[in-house]
């Protein structure tokens, strides 16, 4: 309870500081107040374009996220079984992880249509994180349990359910949490550059071009709120799926 109070106090403190700074600057083009930001957000919420942009961005970024998730999990499972594949993938995954988003955005614009750029960027953010974390989790499977499984000739499916999945699941969850935030941010950044139709990135770019700072702040607030909501929904879904698999039999 005490911690919760402090957290609320901290939010109030920073909002007040923001309001004070906006009043001191007194130029809407440079810094808008929290109240003006909220007003701009409410205005945006009343337009159809807002929902079209949110839906467009969500669809593209989630498509990239799920592609990275599925391929990352699949490749990690194969890499666990086949050592040569693991070694082949090591430099690729390390390079993708270390390459700055900006380099990928510029390179990708040469290779693929701009409307698909955010899908590709989201995919690239997710793939190496999911792959490396899930593989690490699989490698942490209890060696003594694996010996037991060998002696009792447990089927591959039962080994996955009873031994590998519980070991790898927490790692997958952490990777999903991390990569969802990253791919959301990278996806929006890619949209700002590529400006596909019906996207938050394009809306942000438009707000900047027309010096509409309240709208810029409102879109940023919307991005933050969507990011938090998305993460909570996704983790809830994954937790349910995880429990479902454990109780499948």
Contact positions vs other proteins (CB under 8 A): 144-145, 147-154, 158, 161-163, 166, 246, 249
Two tokens, residue 88: 């082949």
Two tokens, residue 80: 């666990």
Distance CA 106, CA 121 (A): 11
Distance CA 28, CA 136 (A): 49
Considering the complex, what minimum distance in angstroms separates the CB of residue 60 from other proteins? 36
User: Which CB, 34 or 162, lies closer to other proteins?
Assistant: 162
User: Which CB, 27 or 247, lies closer to other proteins?
Assistant: 247
Considering the complex, what minimum distance in angstroms separates the CB of residue 61 from other proteins? 33
Residue 208 sits at the vertex; the CA angle it makes with 14 and 54, to the nearest 5 degrees, is 80
User: Which CB, 87 or 147, lies closer to other proteins?
Assistant: 147
User: Which CB, 160 or 226, lies closer to other proteins?
Assistant: 160
Considering the complex, what minimum distance in angstroms separates the CB of residue 243 from other proteins? 10
Distance CA 14, CA 102 (A): 31
Considering the complex, what minimum distance in angstroms separates the CB of residue 245 from other proteins? 11
Considering the complex, what minimum distance in angstroms separates the CB of residue 159 from other proteins? 8
Residue 150 sits at the vertex; the CA angle it makes with 145 and 151, to the nearest 5 degrees, is 95
User: Which CB, 87 or 246, lies closer to other proteins?
Assistant: 246
Question: If you write DSSP's letter for every residue of 74-136 in order, what string do you get?
Answer: HHHHHHHH-HHHHHHHHHHHHHHHHS-HHHHHHHHHHHS-GGGHHHHHHHHHHHHHHHHHHHH
């Amino acid at each position: 309870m005490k911690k919760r109070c402090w957290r609320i106090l901290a939010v109030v403190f920073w909002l007040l500081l923001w309001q004070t700074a906006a009043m001191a600057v007194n130029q809407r083009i440079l810094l808008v107040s929290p109240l003006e930001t909220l007003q701009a957000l409410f205005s945006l919420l009343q337009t159809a374009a807002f929902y079209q942009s949110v839906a467009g961005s969500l669809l593209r970024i989630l498509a990239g996220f799920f592609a990275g998730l599925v391929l990352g999990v699949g490749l990690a499972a194969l890499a666990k079984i086949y050592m040569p594949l693991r070694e082949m993938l090591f430099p690729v995954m390390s390079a993708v992880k270390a390459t700055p988003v900006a380099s990928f955005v510029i390179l990708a614009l040469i290779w693929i249509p701009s409307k698909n750029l955010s899908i590709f960027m989201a995919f690239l953010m997710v793939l190496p994180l999911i792959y490396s974390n899930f593989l690490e989790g699989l490698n942490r499977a209890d060696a003594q349990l694996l010996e037991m499984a060998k002696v009792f000739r447990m089927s591959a499916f039962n080994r996955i359910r009873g031994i590998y999945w519980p070991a790898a699941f927490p790692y997958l969850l952490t990777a999903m949490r991390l990569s969802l935030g990253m791919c959301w941010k990278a996806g929006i950044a890619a949209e700002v550059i590529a400006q596909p139709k019906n996207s938050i990135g394009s809306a942000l770019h438009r707000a900047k071009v027309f010096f509409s700072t309240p709208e810029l702040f409102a879109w940023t607030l919307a991005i933050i709120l969507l990011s938090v909501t998305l993460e909570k929904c996704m983790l809830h879904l994954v937790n349910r799926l995880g429990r479902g698999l454990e109780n499948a039999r």
